[in-house]
A and B are shown apart, each in its own frame.
Chain A
Amino acid sequence: MKSIAELEEIRKRTLEQIGLRENNEKMRIVVGMATCGIAAGARPVMNTFLEELKKRNINNVSVTMTGCIGICRLEPIVEVIEPDGSKVTYVKMNPEKAARVVAEHIVNGRVCIDYTIGAEEKNK
């Protein structure tokens, strides 16, 4: 059985790590989580981002939600926003694609061009 007391351990461990982090400029992963996104499978996509970040011990990236941005047919939609504000929009996401975005874009800085909204719209 899990107990609240375990949080004390996590607190100690994490406080040390937070002290070691150099810059607080966070990259943000924003998942569209309105009715359209949820129905299209946005929650497993968000879960995958959290899992991959945990697996790779990446803690300068935050994962958050947003509402409907008006292109429901391309959901699940994910935006990766750099600290400087530049943004890449990925469409028709699924957990496998999310894992690749972490490995290539978040870790290595290479945008997964074929998942972007630009690539999707060109194929029409």
Chain B
Amino acid sequence: MPQQKIRCLLAMLGTDVHNKGIRTLAQLLRDRGVEVIYLGEHNTAGGVINALIAEDADVVGLSYSTATYLHYTRDLLDKMRTAGVGDVPLMLGGLIHADDEPALREMGVRGIFGPGSTMDQIVEFLQTATGKTLPGGAAAGA
């Protein structure tokens, strides 16, 4: 029988092209039973939100390697709220500087997975944030 899947939208905003991290993450999440909707690079906030709505994604993940992530994240979250999808959890990965974490949390970012984060941490976050369980992931609620 089909089941409740976690649908996770992965995207990059701005002109950042360092996509190898997020592409590998997509494969690893697929291995854990996640349905990844992969938007690739060079997205605008509007594009991400339209995809998020159409795909009814449970969670959005963004990866950054450029320093402009504060700007793009704030812009996206503002537009998500305006579009009525401010409730969808947002996680960030890539080169997120520790100094910026409080500001990002303040904005409403729910998960921050900088360098050194493990797959188990990401999977646990996905389960907690969406309230859904993954096939092999007993991490939720544990």
Partners in one complex: no
